[in-house]
Amino acid sequence: MNSSIAREQADWMQTLESQCKINTLNYLGIRDLIRYKRTEGLAAKFLAFIKIQGWTDLGVFSPSVSKRRIVHFESFTDWINSEYSEGGLAIAPTQLIILLANAYEYEKSVDACVEVIRLLPSSTLHAAKEQIDDLSTGYACIHGDHWSRLEQAVEETINHPTLSLETKIIGSNVIKPKSGSTQKVLERIQRILVDKSQLESRGLSVTALQEAYTLLIRGMATPTQALRIAGLVSRSKKTSKSVYFVKDSIESAKRVIETIGKEKAAEMARIILSDTDSAEQDFTPPNPE
């Protein structure tokens, strides 16, 4: 950012109401730490931001005057999933928890992770549970039993929804997730998973949908990739002949056939089998000595 834009931003910040200005300054500090993967002081800053629910009233600056605005995110999850240009953090829930854990500010890191967990919807926690449990167990072994609080927080929030801190604000100025955003794709997949009629009528695989959801929660797939993995993008909308494989072998086979046809799929299967047989024949066990 050049000096004239920086001065313009500073002047614009002075026009914000007191609490909005505080929230925005704190957000910018957190955003830059996350953007540049710097963890010093992150947990303490994040805890303070959660306490004031800063995402409900933020100023978003742009060099273009017409794009400067005050935003009010509907929920914590919407905020962290949104792009920097929208006032968000552009980070998946489990990525955020891992980053806060790596900040390692003793109790503050644990507290920040626990607060984030309690702000997430139960559907997100179900998909992230295995990864968070592994993190909790590993850190408890290395850094102390207080890290087991993460695993406990997941269990409590899933099994006792009243302990969840997740809230949604309402109003005409509330920022709602865009149709192709991480949050909207997660909600779409979740709706389909609980609606058996959609699963059957559209011939969708539960395994593929669950895998897409989990990968998106972990930040290992973009929203578009998740839709393709889930089988929710029709062939006419595909920009290439890419095939997204999933753990369900039958579903993966169907996708190959749909993309390249039965004959080529059969040829591919023969090549795979012949290569496998060849590899087994060529394999020489290592000499135990």
Tell me what pLDDT residue 100 has. 94
State the average pLDDT for the chain.
84
Please state which of the ranges 112-116, 160-164, 213-217 shows the lowest mean pLDDT.
160-164
Tell me what pLDDT residue 103 has. 85
Q: Would the pLDDT of 243 be above 70?
A: no
Give which of 207, 210, 242 is closest to 228, Cα–Cα. Answer: 242
Rg (CA), the chain: 23
Q: How far is CA 234 from the centre of its chain?
A: 23
Q: Would the pLDDT of 280 be above 80?
A: no
The token duo for 10 is 């500073």
Query: Could you say which DSSP state residue 99 is in?
Result: H
Query: Which tops the pLDDT comparison, 113 or 244?
Result: 113
Do 184 and 224 touch, CB atoms closer than 8 A? no
What average pLDDT score do residues 171-187 get? 72
Q: Would the pLDDT of 238 be above 60?
A: no
Domain ranges in the chain? 3-175, 182-281
pLDDT 10s digits, 39-69: 889 999 999 999 999 999 999 999 999 999 9
Q: Using 50, 70 and 90 to split pLDDT, how confident is the model at 138?
A: very high
Tell me what pLDDT residue 276 has. 54
Residue at token pair 């805890």: 47
pLDDT 10s digits, 77-87: 999 999 999 99
Do 181 and 84 touch, CB atoms closer than 8 A? no
Query: Could you say which DSSP state residue 71 is in?
Result: E
Residues forming beta bridges with residue 60, ordered by sequence position: 69
Do 137 and 154 touch, CB atoms closer than 8 A? no
The SS3 assignment for 74 reads: coil
Tell me what pLDDT residue 45 has. 95
Tell me what pLDDT residue 150 has. 95
Query: Which tops the pLDDT comparison, 52 or 160?
Result: 52
The SS3 assignment for 174 reads: strand
Query: Which tops the pLDDT comparison, 127 or 177?
Result: 127
Q: Using 50, 70 and 90 to split pLDDT, how confident is the model at 32?
A: very high
Whole-number Cα distances in Å, 84 to 140, 170, 192? 33, 22, 29
Percent of the chain whose pLDDT exceeds 90? 42
What average pLDDT score do residues 183-188 get? 84
Tell me what pLDDT residue 281 has. 52
Please state, in angstroms and rounded to a whole number, the distance separating the CA atoms of residues 198 and 172: 32
DSSP letter string, 108-146? HHHHHHHHHHHHS-HHHHHHHHHHHHHHHHHHHHHH-GG
Q: Would the pLDDT of 282 be above 60?
A: no
